[in-house]
Amino acid sequence: MNKLPTLKRPGLPGWLILSGSVLLVLVCLFPFWWMVLSSVKTLRELYTVPPIWWPAAPTWENYRTVLFDSNIPRYFLNSIIISVGSTGLALVLAIFASYGFARFNFKGKPLLQSFVLVGQLLPTAAIIVPLFVTLRVLNLVNTYWGLILVYMIITLPLSVWMLTSYFKNIPVELEEAAIIDGASRLECLFRITLPLSLPGLASVMVYAFVTTWNEFIFALCFATDSSVKTLPIGLAEFSTEFNTDWGAVMAASVVMTLPIAILFLSMQRLFVGGLTAGATKG
Partner 1 sequence: MASVTINNVRKSYGELEVLHGVSIDIADGEFVVLVGPSGCGKSTLLRMLAGLEDISGGEIAIGDRVVNGLQPKERDIAMVFQSYALYPHMTVEKNMGFSLKLARAPKEETRDRVAKVAAMLNLSDYLDRYPRQLSGGQRQRVAMGRAMVRNPEVFLFDEPLSNLDAKLRVQMRSEIKQNHHRLKTTTVYVTHDQIEAMTMADKIVVMHGGIVEQVGSPLDLYDNPANLFVAGFIGSPAMNVIGGKIRGGGFVGEDGTRIALPFAATDFEERNVTLGIRPEHLLLDAKGHAAEIITVEPTGAETQVLLRLAGHEIVGVFRDRILHKPGETLHVSLIPERIQLFDGKSGQRIDFREAA
Interface residues with partner 1 (CB under 8 A) are: 171, 173-174, 176-183, 187, 192, 195-196, 275-282
The distance of closest approach from Cβ of residue 209 to partner 1 in the complex, given in angstroms and rounded to an integer, is 24
Q: Give whichever of 77 and 181 is closer to partner 1, judged by the CB atom.
A: 181
Residue 241 burial (C-beta neighbours within 10 Å; 0-12, 13-18, 19+)? exposed
Nearer to partner 1, 84 or 183 (CB): 183
Longest Cα–Cα distance of the chain, Å, equals 86
Q: Whose CA is closest to 260, among 222, 214, 224, 217?
A: 214
Pick the closer one to partner 1 by CB: 110 or 278.
Answer: 278
Q: Judged by CB, which is closer to partner 1: 148, or 170?
A: 170
Min CB(183)–partner 1 separation in Å? 5
- Nearest approach, Cβ of residue 167 and partner 1 (Å): 15
Quick one: which of 124, 105, 99, 120 has its CA closest to 185? 99
Q: How far separated are the first and last CA of the chain, in Å rounded?
A: 44
* Cα dihedral 249→252→258→264 (10° resolution): -50
What is the enclosing helix (H) or strand (E) of 199? helix 198-214
The smaller minimum CB distance to partner 1, of residues 110 and 182, is found at: 182
The alpha carbon of residue 238 and the mean position of all alpha carbons in its chain are separated, in whole angstroms, by: 24
Residue 91 to residue 59: CA distance in whole angstroms: 41
Residue whose CB is less far from partner 1, 178 or 248 = 178
Distance CA 20, CA 153 (A): 40
C-alpha span between 228 and 147 (Å, rounded): 9
